[in-house]
């Protein structure tokens, strides 16, 4: 499985790693947050090193739908239900600045963006009510949204009974932007290290990034991974890891250009791609959905098959070209966390919790982090940086956090109970399948991929959750805090700092 945007990978200008080297700032993670932060710092003359376990845009930043929009499904009405209007406006202003950074930077780097209308639409009566709530919240927050009339509803690319629209949003080919940012960062004097696994960050007596190839030293560290790989602040307990899937098709008939996201369930996300507007010379469409908490789906493959079938039954699609999945994190109050890591002596900054809207939230996070590292006065920063950065925990946040962490506790108990119910030996799993069984009182994950059967510890090294087999991506996923591992045990993402132990 690979993203549509990754079918023509470009060579990133990484250089060999030198253990013990020193920089003013070390950034961990070459997604959009890390690249935007590193690029802006390097442009202003700061000595920056960027370290990435895989390649540029390896995870969510290179595997999204490419929507750059201030209308984000039902995000604003969800925020407004538990927060004052001032906080919702601050969220919109942060994303407005992120949007402006995306358009300005893409223009500077020669990356094409196309103007599109974004729609939050209703598939039925429940969705119709959600559309009106989103319209009201967006208008209150200062967005020039409009309710779609009957003629536009009939002409839309997807069947819908109501919709709120925001014109003049943008669509981007995300990997093209990320590759251009990596090149521009290096051209500005930055140091890019790819294929280097960061195992931890120390702050005393001086900031030190620990990698599998040796340490890097810095005055400041920015952790720009999906969720912080540090336990300071316990942010893995303040966000929920969510996976969603996409499938792309060729089109057999023209469709109106647009970016669509349903307000009701099941979630359907649709974006058209014009010939030459993406990585192909033919018209295509990307359909997204199948969202679920990491490690808590009965069958990820069945969910994506259902999404593909919906597209084939609803839209004028031809050949399926790509299918892929990605992971993002949702804070319990839907506002991203951005700023200084607690108990880091002001030496570590981070960002997480974009709730699948990283193409505007990530640049906004980078702008705030860069402002702090440059030592800019609070009086000289946009007001949203103060409002979001110093927000209080509201009663609704506490309640939602309690609900989410109760779900984590239930998932932990169910995982251990299921593992105890079956002991090895078990029948050899068929190709692409995996099973958890007990051996000597410990859960073991047994799977078959690429014709090879492997056994690994099925206990997440982060906090001991029992892993679940992901039959779409052939990975071991943790239902507690969303760490993920390959069939052979290598760490992919999440708060776990190491991989799984092989079992003979």
pLDDT digits (tens, 9 = 90+) for 155-177: 999 999 999 999 999 999 999 99
| Model confidence pLDDT, tens digit, residues 345-366 | 999 999 999 999 999 999 999 9
Please choose, from the candidates 482, 204, 491, the residue with its C-alpha nearest in 3D space to the C-alpha of residue 348.
204
> What is the average pLDDT across 470-481?
97
Mean predicted confidence (pLDDT) in 53-78: 96
Q: What share of the chain is helix, strand, coil (3-state, %, to 5)?
A: 30, 30, 40
Identify the band that residue 9 occupies on the pLDDT scale cut at 50, 70 and 90: confident
If pLDDT is split at 50, 70 and 90, which confidence band does 409 have? low
Q: What's the CA gap between 268 and 303, in Å, rounded?
A: 12
Asked which of 55-64, 84-93, 270-279, 393-402 is least confident by mean pLDDT, the reply is 393-402
> What whole-number distance in Å separates Cα of residue 59 and Cα of residue 228?
14
Q: Tokens in use for 280? A: 């192909």
**Domain architecture of the chain: domains with CATH:** 407-492 (2.102.10.10)
What percentage of the chain exceeds 70 in pLDDT? 92
Compute how many other C-beta atoms are within 10 angstroms of the C-beta atom of residue 417: 10
Average pLDDT over residues 246-272: 96
- Enumerate residues 6+ apart whose C-beta is below 8 A from 490: 499, 500
CA atoms within 13 A on the CB side of 220: 22
pLDDT of residue 292: 96
pLDDT range class, residue 423, cuts 50, 70, 90 = low
3-state SS class at 456: strand
The Cα–Cα gap between 149 and 132 comes to: 13
- 205-256 per-position pLDDT tens digit: 999 999 999 999 999 999 999 999 888 788 989 999 999 999 999 999 999 9
Band (391; pLDDT cuts 50, 70, 90): very low
Flag whether pLDDT at 24 surpasses 70: yes
**Which residue blocks in 210-326 are alpha helix, DSSP H?**
300-314
**Listed residue (43, 92, 60, 51) closest to 373, CA to CA:** 43
Which has the higher per-residue pLDDT, 106 or 395?
A: 106
Residue 19, pLDDT score: 96
Average pLDDT, the chain: 92
Residues 6 or more apart from 313 whose CB is under 8 A from it? none
Q: What is the DSSP string of 102-164?
A: HHHHHHHHT--EEEEEEEEEESSHHHHHHHHHHHHHHHHTT---EEPPHHHHHHSSS--SEEE
pLDDT of 181 higher than 80: yes
Highest mean pLDDT: which range of 11-15, 244-248, 272-276 = 244-248
Q: What are the tokens at 127?
A: 């969705």
Q: Look at residue 279 and tell me whether its pLDDT is greater than 90.
A: no
Percent of the chain exceeding pLDDT 90 equals 83
**392 band by pLDDT with thresholds 50, 70 and 90:** very low
| Confidence at 425, pLDDT banded by 50, 70, 90 | confident
**Which of the given ranges, 211-220, 279-288, 397-406, has the highest pLDDT on average?**
211-220
Q: Which helix (H) or strand (E) holds 231?
A: none
Mean pLDDT within 322-351: 94
């Amino acid at each position: 499985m690979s993203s549509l945007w990754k079918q023509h990978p470009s060579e990133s200008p990484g250089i060999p790693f030198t253990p013990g080297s020193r920089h003013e700032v070390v950034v961990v993670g070459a997604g959009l947050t890390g690249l935007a932060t590193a690029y802006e710092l390097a442009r202003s003359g700061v000595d920056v090193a960027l370290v990435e376990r895989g390649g540029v845009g390896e995870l969510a930043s290179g595997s999204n739908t490419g929507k750059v929009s201030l209308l984000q499904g039902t995000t604003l009405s969800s925020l407004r239900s538990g927060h004052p209007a001032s906080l919702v406006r601050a969220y919109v202003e942060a994303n407005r600045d992120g949007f402006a950074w995306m358009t300005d930077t893409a223009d500077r780097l020669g990356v094409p963006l196309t103007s599109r209308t974004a729609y939050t639409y209703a598939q039925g009566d429940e969705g119709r009510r959600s559309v009106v709530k989103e319209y009201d919240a967006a208008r209150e927050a200062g967005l020039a949204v409009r309710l779609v009339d009957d003629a536009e509803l009939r002409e839309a690319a997807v069947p819908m009974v109501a919709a709120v629209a925001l014109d003049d949003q943008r669509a981007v080919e995300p990997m093209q932007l990320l590759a251009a940012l990596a090149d521009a960062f290096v051209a500005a004097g930055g140091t890019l290290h790819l294929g280097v696994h960061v195992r931890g960050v120390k702050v005393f007596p001086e900031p030190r990034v620990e990698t599998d190839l040796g340490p890097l030293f810095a005055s400041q560290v920015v952790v720009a991974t999906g969720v912080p790989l540090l336990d300071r602040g316990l942010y893995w307990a303040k966000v929920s890891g969510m996976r969603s899937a996409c499938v792309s098709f060729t089109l057999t008939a023209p469709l109106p250009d647009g970016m669509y996201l349903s307000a009701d369930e099941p979630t359907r996300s649709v974006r058209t791609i014009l010939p030459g507007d993406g990585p192909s010379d033919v018209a295509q469409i990307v359909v997204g959905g199948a969202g679920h908490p990491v490690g808590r789906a009965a069958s990820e493959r069945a969910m994506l098959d259902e999404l593909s079938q919906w597209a084939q039954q609803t839209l004028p699609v031809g050949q399926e070209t790509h299918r892929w999945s990605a992971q993002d994190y949702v804070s319990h109050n839907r506002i991203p966390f951005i700023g200084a890591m607690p108990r880091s002596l002001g030496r570590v900054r981070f960002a997480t919790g974009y709730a699948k809207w990283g193409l505007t939230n990530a640049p906004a996070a980078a702008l705030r982090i860069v402002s702090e590292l440059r030592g800019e006065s609070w009086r000289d920063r946009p007001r949203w940086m103060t409002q979001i950065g110093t927000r209080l925990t509201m009663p609704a946040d506490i309640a939602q956090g309690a609900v989410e962490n109760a779900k984590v506790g239930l998932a932990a108990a169910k995982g251990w109970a299921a593992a105890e119910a079956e002991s090895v030996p078990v029948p050899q799993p068929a190709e692409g399948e995996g099973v958890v069984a007990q051996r000597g009182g410990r859960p073991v994950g047994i799977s078959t991929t690429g014709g090879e059967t492997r056994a690994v510890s099925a206990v997440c090294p982060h906090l001991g959750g029992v892993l679940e087999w992901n039959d779409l991506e052939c990975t071991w996923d943790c239902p507690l805090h969303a760490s993920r591992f390959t069939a052979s045990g290598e760490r992919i993402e999440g708060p776990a700092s190491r991989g799984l132990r092989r079992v003979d």
